């Protein structure tokens, strides 16, 4: 499937795959899509460098991109310690009590948390960019608002397209005004940070708001039928994140979490502030229930909540404490029911797309399809 | 656009239009779709008879259907007075206080409430059916679960297809087991009672769950692009409700409410229990905010909430008290921006569908489209 955007980026299919795993990103690009590596977990520039080197060695020269989390609002001179100091003791106690209730073991001395607030801070994102701009990335995506003007300019100087996620037509228009090249319209059903407006409504609204800027549809897409639907809605491609979590190349480090993803239905996710303080869709667990409980302390605003729960989430994941174990994932999780290679998943997408086009042509009475 | 279902029902386009207004239902069928009259407001059989007579006189012999609200669970020997007695005084006081705060005038002596719980009770729905089965209706839809077996049998004896709304694949399978002919998959973005799963995910799940039973996609659909998307997802047609509320033939009895609908964006609805006690998408107002406020008394379960607020809602609507004035409507309200005839709206749907099919064919590289 070819759109103006896929032609511009030199990919065979207008399928953009977001993933934290270099092996998945490379496999998506090799399959004819466009792999986008999520950089938020790279707090050390050398780790990112190592993984981008790996991608370069395994992507057969295909194009790929990077996704960073750069807050739209700049916070000057605030350290992690400053943010730590803003967290109420009662919330820390709630974390301790909840972990104790489920018998979650402590991390070993000096064992780093897997998920740190630092990945969300602008200086870290900038150090990621310093690394990434030495590589031939073709796309830079930002998950929290438009990136700062100097970052957009720096990307454009290098011929790198800039994409930004939007949950409403209003957000999409802000991105356009900020000189962004591609809007990723992230529907309610998507994994991770989402708004309230579902893809069926959001995609065409975003398309019409920012035309002729291209829009990628994100949220609820995991089959060729859904790709055909998104393209019918006017998107120039689709942005898939959840679907790759259960591929063979993904490295969740947790067989229990993979089992939960494979078993979950479309109704087993929740849009909760438990992870970061902003609403993000994830597996519903007893952990998210504890934070969403009206009788509990409730969540703190971003970035406090993320910092508050970082170690707890690491402990839950490391020790695979089943009732608490979760991950950001969209409603499409209900269709992620077996572990397959990225190539096999991709082949299903493109074959399913062709079948869906045939199907719609039959309904439309277009013969010769 | 022709599917097996539209052929079976003898309509030109697989577009089903749900509406409480006879003039809208007739105009949808005359335009080549399938009009479905919502019967919930007909508490007196003669009123329904009068409006079905009107439809018969104005529909040019085209097929149409009826939508009733028949609870899946039978409640024996419970009167409206019994239900009234279950409502706490504190909730009644909250209604009085909220209406007083906004200066909502009383109804005149003996003035009937426009919306009564009785429309939701099984005996009323059965009296509606006694009337409707004397007319050549082709479809009977039920908004709350599968209708009772004897009603399904009675419909089938008369060659009337039975449809039921479902918010999940599990609900859809229950309908299939109950002998229902058509599942209406109602996505999160839909107006009225909805579940959590958005149309992009729900439609294909329902389609695969009940195949070969036909599924109609409902929720978020108000353009030809969205119809093409729904059909790509595997639906045999679309079920549109909100879109007709701002047509010239609709009779909302409230210019202020029409203005609110025309002005509302896709983010101006909320899924709230304020109206009936079950989550239903509607315009977000200070009335829904009051019921959804965690510091307020909260809503009562169905059917108590509906009975509690019936007179209040009538007063708000009659006196057009702007901050409280709302109605069930889906996220597609953001695209309902002018008053046009049903025929003009319908022409846009079919023209937009053809354009969307052309568009997808170009992306798929199908020449000759």
Which has more confidence, A105 or B70? A105
Half-sphere exposure of A109 toward its Cβ, with a 13 Å CA cutoff? 0
Phi, psi torsion values for A183, nearest 5 degrees = -100, 130
Do B70 and B142 form a contact (C-beta atoms < 8 A)? Answer: yes
How confident is the model over A214-258, as pLDDT tens digits? 999 999 999 999 999 999 999 999 999 999 999 999 999 899 999
> Residue B369: its pLDDT value, please?
44
Do B147 and B179 form a contact (C-beta atoms < 8 A)? Answer: no
Closest CB to B369: pick one of A200, A330, A366: A366
Closest CB to B231: pick one of A221, A267, A360: A360
Burial class of residue B268, CB neighbours in 10 A (0-12, 13-18, 19+): middle
CA–CA separation, B161 vs B184, rounded Å? Answer: 13
Say if the Cβ atoms of B368 and A365 lie within 8 Å.
no
Is residue A117 over pLDDT 60?
no
- Residue A179 neighbours by CB distance under 10 Å: 14
Q: What's the pLDDT band for A362 if we cut at 50, 70, 90? A: very high
Burial class of residue B117, CB neighbours in 10 A (0-12, 13-18, 19+): buried
Question: How far does the CA of residue B120 sit from the closest CA of chain A (Å)?
Answer: 27
- According to DSSP, the residues that pair with A67 across neighbouring strands are A38, A141
Say if the Cβ atoms of B357 and A359 lie within 8 Å.
no
Mean pLDDT of chain B: 93
Say if the Cβ atoms of B2 and A365 lie within 8 Å.
yes
Instruction: Please state, in angstroms and as integers, the Cα–Cα distance from residue B204 to each residue in A10, B7, B16, B365, following that order.
Output: 31, 21, 18, 24
Burial class of residue B362, CB neighbours in 10 A (0-12, 13-18, 19+): middle
Mean pLDDT throughout A8-19? 97
**Is beta strand B15-19 parallel, antiparallel or unpaired with respect to B237-240?**
parallel
Mean pLDDT throughout A130-141? 96
Q: What percent of chain A has pLDDT over 70?
A: 95
The DSSP secondary-structure symbol of A218 reads E
Of all residues in chain A, the one with the smallest CA distance to B222 is A201
Go through chain A and tell me how many residues it has.
Answer: 369
Question: How far does the CA of residue B331 sit from the closest CA of chain A (Å)?
Answer: 7
> Residue B40: its pLDDT value, please?
86
**What 3-state class would DSSP assign to B76?**
coil
Residues 6+ apart with CB under 8 A from A200: A187, A233, B187, B189, B198, B199, B200, B219, B220, B221, B226, B229, B230
Instruction: Please state, in angstroms and as integers, the Cα–Cα distance from residue B168 to each residue in A200, B68, B165, B174, B184, following that order.
Output: 17, 20, 9, 10, 10
Residues 6+ apart with CB under 8 A from A37: A19, A20, A21, A22, A25, A51, A52, A55, A64, A65, A66, A67
**Is beta strand A139-142 parallel, antiparallel or unpaired with respect to A161-166?**
parallel
Complete DSSP assignment for B211-267? TTS-EEEESS--SHHHHHHHHHTT-SEEEE-GGGGGBTT---S-HHHHHHHHH--TT
Q: What percent of chain B has pLDDT over 70?
A: 95
Is residue B113 over pLDDT 70?
no
Closest CB to A334: pick one of B205, B233, B266: B205
**Is beta strand A64-68 parallel, antiparallel or unpaired with respect to B215-218?**
unpaired
Mean pLDDT throughout B114-118? 53
> Residue A369: its pLDDT value, please?
45
Q: Which helix H or strand E contains A31, and what residues bound it?
A: none
Of all residues in chain B, the one with the smallest CA distance to A188 is B198
> Residue A29: its pLDDT value, please?
98
> Residue B231: its pLDDT value, please?
98
Question: How far does the CA of residue B148 sit from the closest CA of chain A (Å)?
Answer: 27
How confident is the model over B169-218, as pLDDT tens digits? 999 999 999 999 999 999 999 999 999 999 999 999 999 999 999 999 99
Q: What's the pLDDT band for B72 if we cut at 50, 70, 90? A: low
Helix B169-177 / helix B199-210 crossing angle, nearest 10 deg: 30
Is residue B308 over pLDDT 50?
yes
How confident is the model over A298-312, as pLDDT tens digits? 999 988 898 899 899
How confident is the model over A34-51, as pLDDT tens digits? 999 999 889 889 999 999
> Residue B41: its pLDDT value, please?
86
How confident is the model over B340-368, as pLDDT tens digits? 999 999 999 999 999 999 999 999 999 75
**A107, two tokens:** 């991390």
How confident is the model over A151-207, as pLDDT tens digits? 999 999 999 999 999 999 999 999 999 999 999 999 999 999 999 999 999 999 999
Of A266, A261, A267, the closest CA to residue A247 belongs to: A261
> Residue B120: its pLDDT value, please?
58
Phi, psi torsion values for A312, nearest 5 degrees = -60, -45
> Residue A178: its pLDDT value, please?
96
Question: How far does the CA of residue B238 sit from the closest CA of chain A (Å)?
Answer: 13
Of B98, B136, B150, the closest CA to residue B297 belongs to: B98
Mean pLDDT throughout B93-120? 79
CA B134-B214-B240 angle, 5° bins: 70
Q: Which helix H or strand E contains B22, and what residues bound it?
A: helix B22-30
**A308, two tokens:** 């508050």
Cβ contacts of B208 on chain A, cutoff 8 Å: none
| Dihedral in degrees, nearest 10, Cα atoms B347, B335, B42, B109 | -140
Question: How far does the CA of residue A149 sit from the closest CA of chain B (Å)?
Answer: 28
Question: How far does the CA of residue B125 sit from the closest CA of chain A (Å)?
Answer: 31
CA–CA separation, A365 vs A95, rounded Å? Answer: 59
Cβ contacts of A231 on chain B, cutoff 8 Å: 359-360, 363
**What 3-state class would DSSP assign to A340?**
strand
> Residue A15: its pLDDT value, please?
98
Mean pLDDT throughout A249-275? 97
The DSSP secondary-structure symbol of B314 reads H
CA–CA separation, A358 vs B127, rounded Å? Answer: 45
Q: Which of A200, A205, A211, A331 to mutate to test the interface with B (most CBs of B within 10 A)?
A: A200
Mean pLDDT of chain A: 93
Is residue B73 over pLDDT 70?
no
Cβ contacts of B242 on chain A, cutoff 8 Å: none
Of all residues in chain B, the one with the smallest CA distance to A200 is B220
Say if the Cβ atoms of B201 and A357 lie within 8 Å.
no
CA–CA separation, A148 vs A236, rounded Å? Answer: 25
Q: What is the Cα gyration radius of chain B?
A: 20
Q: What's the pLDDT band for A368 if we cut at 50, 70, 90? A: low
Cα A220 to chain center, whole Å? Answer: 13
């Amino acid at each position: 499937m070819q759109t103006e955007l896929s032609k511009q980026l030199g990919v065979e299919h207008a399928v953009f795959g977001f993933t934290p795993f270099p092996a998945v990103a490379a496999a998506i690009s090799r399959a004819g899509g466009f792999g986008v590596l999520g950089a938020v977990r790279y707090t050390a520039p050398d780790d990112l460098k190592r993984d981008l080197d790996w991608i370069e060695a395994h992507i057969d020269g295909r194009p790929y991109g990077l996704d960073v989390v750069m807050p739209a609002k700049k916070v000057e001179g605030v350290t992690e310690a400053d943010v730590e100091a803003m967290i109420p003791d009662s919330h820390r106690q709630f974390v301790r009590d909840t972990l104790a209730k489920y018998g979650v073991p402590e991390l070993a001395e000096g064992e780093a948390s897997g998920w740190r607030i630092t990945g969300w801070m602008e200086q870290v994102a900038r150090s990621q960019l310093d690394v990434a701009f030495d590589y031939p990335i073709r796309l830079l995506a930002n998950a929290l608002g438009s990136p700062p003007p100097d970052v957009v300019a720096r990307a454009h100087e290098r011929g790198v397209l800039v994409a930004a996620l939007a949950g409403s037509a209003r957000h999409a228009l802000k991105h356009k005004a900020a000189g962004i090249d591609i809007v990723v319209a992230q529907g309610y059903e998507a994994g991770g940070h989402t708004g309230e407006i579902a893809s069926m409504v959001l995609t065409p609204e975003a398309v019409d708001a920012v035309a002729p800027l291209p829009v990628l549809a994100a949220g609820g897409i995991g089959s060729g039928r859904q790709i055909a639907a998104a393209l019918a809605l006017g998107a120039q491609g689709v942005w898939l994140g959840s679907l790759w979590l259960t591929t063979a190349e993904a490295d969740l480090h947790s067989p229990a979490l993979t089992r939960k993803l494979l078993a979950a239905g479309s109704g087993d996710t929740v849009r909760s502030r438990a992870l970061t303080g902003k609403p993000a869709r994830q597996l519903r667990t007893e952990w998210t229930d504890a934070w969403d409980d009206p009788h509990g302390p409730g969540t703190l605003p971003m970035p406090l909540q993320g910092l508050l729960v970082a170690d707890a989430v690491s402990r839950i994941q490391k020790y695979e404490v089943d009732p608490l174990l979760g991950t950001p994932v969209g409603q499409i999780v209900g269709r992620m029911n077996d572990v397959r290679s990225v190539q096999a998943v991709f082949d299903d997408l493109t074959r399913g797309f062709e079948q869906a086009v045939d199907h719609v042509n039959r309904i439309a009475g277009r013969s010769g399809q």
